[in-house]
Structure 1
Amino acid sequence: MKNQLVSIITPSFNSAKSIGATIKSVQIQDYENWEMLIVDDCSTDNTREVVQAYADKDHRIKLIARKWNAGPAVTRNRAISCASGRYIAFLDSDDIWYPEKLTKQIEFMRSNDVAFSYTSYRRVHVDGHQIGFVSVPKHVTYYDVLKTNRIGCLTACYDTEKLGKVYMPNISKRQDLGLWLKILKRIDKAYGIQECLADYYVGISTVSSNKITAAKYQWRVYREVENLPFWRSLYYFTTYAYYAITRRV
């Protein structure tokens, strides 16, 4: 029988207040064949102690403690390198999955022979009120994602049996976008599940500054990661900016 283990990639940094809820959302999954690789990037709070307490009671949870702070790309890649599962899924330390998320996504991938998938999700403020709903298209290509990234990192899952292990580019922001583009160069499409299966938590006070920073790194992905010519980069960046303004994503 083929390995159906799902390796969940979770970077953490000073997430003691939120990571418990994240872990619990994995533990209540009705799909039970998973491992959760939590790589702590030198937190200065008691994140490691919180995670270790869960790991002591559940062997599927594994804490990997980094000795120096390297940022989310290196941290996620460390977890990917340690992963044993056929499927690689991503969940950050302040987000949550719905209980049926893995069951529905893995069954969707298996029954439709899909190498890379994602789902719809909610955007929720840290105080609990809903900000918006991100509805995803049924499929996207490399060129679609260059224009606007509709794949939420907390919903993405890829099949290592079809793709091998694929790693994120080492940039401070938009490393998930870089990974999606890397995968989509190798396959025709990624496929979406329209059902909402996760909650992405944000703080409203930082949205404007985050968008400015995100735009800078979006440009870097075009020029430094994808090595696109200037005018082609400008075309995709203009499209990205339009979507970011009109759709607020």
Structure 2
Amino acid sequence: MVSVSIVVPVYNSEKYIALALQGVVSQTFMDFEVIVVDDFSVDGSASIVESFCSRDPRFFLVRNKENIGAAKCRDKAVQLSKGRYIAFLDADDFWRPQKLQKQIGMMQNAGAAMSCTAVDIVDSSGAILGARDVPAIITYDILAKRTPVVNSTVILDSCQVGRVSVPDIRRRQDFALWLKIIREHGPALGIPEKLGGYRVHEGSLSRNKFISAVYTWKVLRDLESLNFFRAIYYFSFYSLKGVFGRIRGLN
């Protein structure tokens, strides 16, 4: 049984996927498998992943016959995974070499079911725009108000949370999953060191903010079944964060 299963959904990511996977190859912690699910890409993403598979038996590629969305891709990879720990990585983000070693060591010391780390925020060329910090302890209340968790930093202990099922919604499925885990298994461990990079695509920021707001409300009301007033309470923090983030130019 491998120690860590790394889940990577890919869709038309030929510009960044090699960098993301190379960051995995460079890890100082080497007992892992990488399950990449290509979501019917029409660019060279799958070919790039295949080149990693041909060189390293720890890499596996699953190719979808139709586009099913990131949520179902992640869920497919999780269900195929064999590792005790499940780590999430998006195709346009990247990890630094000691990410797995440091994070898993801290999880084991703390007995944490879920952990995440701080990250650098980078643009399409890799230039650092800012950072996303995380509190040391992430409660349900903190997550619902601030959403400090970046998907590509998360590691779960399957011995505690099981083979989780990723909620089947087109956006914000990560937010929905983290809320559920923290609600059922207690606060997540936040690691302040920036062990990776989260890539921001400038051309789609405005549209993504609006769509993310719609799905944030859907998660709070439909998936978490919060009453209207509690959902409004949490959603107001999300809305204010979006406004002030745009003013600062980092969100």
Residue number among 120, 133, 136 corresponding to 1:135 in the alignment: 133
Secondary structure of residue in 2 paired with 1:228: coil
* Alpha-carbon distance in 1 for matches of 2:112, 2:169: 28
What pairs with 1:176-215 in structure 2 (closer than 5 Å)? 176-215=174-213
1:208-227 alignment to 2 at 5 Å?
208-227=206-225
In the alignment, what sits opposite 1:166?
Answer: 164
Q: Which of 90, 102, 109 is equivalent to 1:92?
A: 90
**Counterpart of 1:59 in 2: which secondary structure?**
coil
TM-score, length of structure 2 as denominator length? 0.95
- Counterpart CA distance in 2 for 1:126 and 1:29 is 23
The 3-state SS of whatever aligns with 1:186 is helix
Which string of whole-angstrom CA distances, capped at 9 and with x for unpartnered residues, describes residues 196-238 of structure 1? 0000111122212211111111011111111111122111111
Letter in 1 for 2:120: R
Aligned equivalents of 1:126 and 1:212: distance in 2?
21
Q: Tell me, which stretches of 5 or more residues in structure 1 are unaligned?
A: none
How far residue 4 of structure 1 moved from its aligned partner, in angstroms, is 5.8
Structure 2 residue aligned with 1:240: 238
Alpha-carbon distance in structure 2 between the residues aligned to 1:204 and 1:43 = 22
- CA apart distance, 1:137: 0.4
**Structure-to-structure mapping, 1:40-55, within 5 angstroms:** 40-55=38-53
| 2:2–2:33 contact (8 Å) kept in structure 1 | no
Displacement of 1:150: 0.4
Equivalent in the alignment of 1:231: 229
Show CA shifts across 1:161-210 (max 9, x none).
11111121111110000100110111221011100000011112221221
Runs of 4+ that moved beyond 6 A: none
User: What SS does the corresponding residue of 2:164 show, helix, strand or coil?
Assistant: coil
Answer with 121-130 or 29-38: which moved more. Answer: 121-130
* Residue aligning to 2:15: 17
In 1, are the aligned partners of 2:2 and 2:82 still within 8 Å (CA)?
no
Give the SS at the match of 2:184: coil
Cα deviation, 1:129-149, whole Å, max 9, x if unaligned, reads 211111110011112211121
Following the alignment from structure 2 to structure 1, what is the Cα–Cα distance between the partners of residues 189 and 11?
30
Equivalence for 1:60 = 58
Aligned counterparts of 1:4 and 1:182: Cα–Cα separation in 2: 26
> Could you tell me which amino acid in structure 2 is paired with residue 135 of structure 1?
D
Gaps of 5+ in 2: none
TM-score, scaled to structure 1: 0.96
CA–CA distance in 1 between the matches of 2:83 and 2:152?
17
